[in-house]
Amino acid sequence: MEITGLKPVFGIEDIKSQTIYIAGPCSAESEEQTLETARQLADAGIKIFRAGVWKPRTKPGGFEGRGRMALDWLRKVREQTGMMVATEIANRKHLEDALEADIDAIWIGARTSANPFAVQEIADTLATLPQEKKDSLTVLIKNPVNPDLELWIGAIERIYASGVRRIGAIHRGFSSYGKHIYRNEPRWAIAIELNRRIPEMPIIFDPSHVGGRRDLVAPLAHQAIDMNYEGLIIESHCNPDCALSDSAQQITPAELASLLATLNKRSHSLPTKSLDELRRKIDRIDDELLELLSRRMEVSREIGRYKKEHRLPVVQTTRYKDLMERRVAESERLDMSADFVRALLAVIHEESVRQQVKL
Ligand code: PEP
Ligand code: MN
């Protein structure tokens, strides 16, 4: 499915020159905590407030959110601060309640976007909305917990097919077994590929759920801005140590304000002239690479003709193994990972074999 004709999320027309900042507590815990955090964030210049109303918990017994009544607190946040408000929904009922409370934006959480039944139920409900609502609502789709780009794109396509057009993605990292520095591995290449596949769609980075720790939020946020993400969604709580969910990764609104002050606008972060030069350099190298590969294929076809004449098999496993091992052994000296060299040689070899078989 081709995803085009998207409209700006949150109605922010000038998305290329401004970064979207979304901030707020992991959960709306009480009216006081929600409004106090919101007031401080509004003072810090935040325009979009997030708060979880229904919380998906790994184990039973955790804080599962205040549910429907917390939607009233979000409404008050909007009335009192003028911020737009966003919350997570996981099923039809959540969506209906959020719409009734006139929430500006919803997001589909990582556990939900991994479940096509749940996403389809949400999409089917969105499809029944009056055109006016479809036009104004922003829907953000978090990556599924597992590193599966097609599943992520599938969720985006389902929402797109409902007729909603203000669609964005949130990159919150991928879970894996065992202890790692990051709570959820960023696997940047997956988001880069998502951007290549759906170039019109903004991608917002979530350093809070990737890092899982307060001290990792700022460096991850900087990295994402340097990588040209369209925005950040950051968990912020007026009293992080007492937060009922994700306490370790939440920062105070004051800490968020000083982080924002150090995040340069992307247009200032890179000197454009030298960037252009570097890009031209890369282009020339890519041209050379393709020329070289084409010459390699020519030789390969010649070998193919020889093999055919002498009735030799196209693939000779020992030769392939030898060719592979010698190059992989060189990978470190060449400053590349062994996995990359192996994968690269495998696709080159595959094309060689294809060309020889064709003869
Ligand atoms: C959240 O944003 O608080 C949340 C539960 O996120 P995720 O779906 O990324 O775990
Ligand atoms: Mn959270």
**SS3 of 197-245:** HCCCCCEEECHHHHHCCHHHHHHHHHHHHHCCCCEEEEEECCCHHHCCC
What is the token pair recorded at 329? Answer: 């052994």
Split at pLDDT 50, 70, 90, the class of 265 is low
Q: Residue 12 C-alpha to ligand 2 middle, in angstroms?
A: 25
Instruction: Indicate whether 220 pLDDT > 60.
Output: yes
Instruction: Indicate whether 267 pLDDT > 60.
Output: no
- DSSP H/E element including 50: strand 48-50
Mean local confidence (pLDDT), 22-47: 98
Cα dist from 131 to 123, 136, 162, 165, 352, whole Å: 14, 9, 11, 11, 53
Minimal-distance CA residue to ligand 1 atom 6: 109
- Determine the pLDDT at residue 74: 98
Are the C-beta atoms of residues 127 and 163 closer than 8 Å to each other? yes
Residue 112 sits at the vertex; the CA angle it makes with 206 and 243, to the nearest 5 degrees, is 50
Q: Which residue has the tokens 């309640």?
A: 97
Instruction: Indicate whether 257 pLDDT > 90.
Output: yes
Split at pLDDT 50, 70, 90, the class of 268 is very low
Measured between alpha carbons, how far apart are the two ends of the chain, in Å?
Answer: 35
Percent of the chain with pLDDT over 70: 97
Mean local confidence (pLDDT), 122-143: 97
353 SS3 class: helix
Residues 234-248: b if buried by 16+ CB within 10 A, e if exposed: bbbbbebeebbbbee
Mean pLDDT value across the chain: 93
Where does residue 331 rank: exposed (0-12), middle (13-18), buried (19+ CB within 10 A)? middle
Minimal-distance CA residue to ligand 1 atom 10: 110
Ligand 1, residue 206: give the atom nearest the CA. Answer: 9
Q: Residue 213 C-alpha to ligand 2 middle, in angstroms?
A: 11
- DSSP H/E element including 171: strand 166-171
Q: Residue 284 C-alpha to ligand 2 middle, in angstroms?
A: 45
Ligand 1, residue 209: give the atom nearest the CA. Answer: 9
Split at pLDDT 50, 70, 90, the class of 323 is confident
- Determine the pLDDT at residue 318: 87
| Ligand 1 pocket mutation, candidates 172, 204, 233, 250, criterion most atoms within 8 A of CB | 172
Instruction: Indicate whether 198 pLDDT > 70.
Output: yes
Q: Residue 50 C-alpha to ligand 1 middle, in angstroms?
A: 11
Output the furthest CA–CA distance in the chain (Å, rounded): 84
Predicted TM-score of the model (pTM): 0.77
pLDDT in tens, 134-156: 999 999 999 999 999 999 999 99
- Find, among 202, 96, 187, 189, the residue nearest to 156 by Cα: 202
What are the residues facing 225 on neighbouring strands?
A: none
- Considering every ligand atom shown, identify the ligand nearest to the alpha carbon of residue 250 and give its number: 2
Split at pLDDT 50, 70, 90, the class of 284 is confident
- Considering every ligand atom shown, identify the ligand nearest to the alpha carbon of residue 206 and give its number: 1
Mean local confidence (pLDDT), 170-178: 94
Secondary structure string (H, E, C) spanning 71-140: HHHHHHHHHHHCCEEEEEECCHHHHHHHHHCCCCEEEECHHHHCCHHHHHHHHHHHHCCCHHHHHHCEEE
Instruction: Indicate whether 96 pLDDT > 80.
Output: yes
Q: Residue 264 C-alpha to ligand 1 middle, in angstroms?
A: 26
Are the C-beta atoms of residues 88 and 106 closer than 8 Å to each other? yes
Residue 312 C-alpha from the chain's centroid: 49
Are the C-beta atoms of residues 49 and 77 closer than 8 Å to each other? yes
> What is the C-alpha to C-alpha distance for residues 330 and 27, in angstroms, rounded to an integer?
50
More confident residue, 106 or 289: 106
Instruction: Indicate whether 73 pLDDT > 70.
Output: yes
What are the residues facing 50 on neighbouring strands?
A: 86
Ligand 1, residue 26: give the atom nearest the CA. Answer: 3
Q: Which residue has the tokens 């002498």?
A: 310
* Of 58-72, 279-293, 330-344, the least confident: 279-293
| Ligand 1 pocket mutation, candidates 142, 170, 183, 246, criterion most atoms within 8 A of CB | 142
Cα dist from 24 to 37, 236, 252, 260, 315, whole Å: 7, 5, 10, 14, 58
Ligand 1, residue 55: give the atom nearest the CA. Answer: 5
| Ligand 1 pocket mutation, candidates 63, 187, 209, criterion most atoms within 8 A of CB | 209
Highest mean pLDDT among 7-21, 47-61, 282-296, 333-347: 47-61
Minimal-distance CA residue to ligand 1 atom 4: 109
- Which amino acids bring their CB within 6 angstroms of ligand 1? 26, 52, 56, 88, 109-110, 142, 172, 209
* Of 88-102, 124-138, 148-162, 251-265, the least confident: 251-265
Instruction: Indicate whether 285 pLDDT > 90.
Output: no
- Considering every ligand atom shown, identify the ligand nearest to the alpha carbon of residue 246 and give its number: 2
Instruction: Indicate whether 211 pLDDT > 60.
Output: yes
- Considering every ligand atom shown, identify the ligand nearest to the alpha carbon of residue 145 and give its number: 1
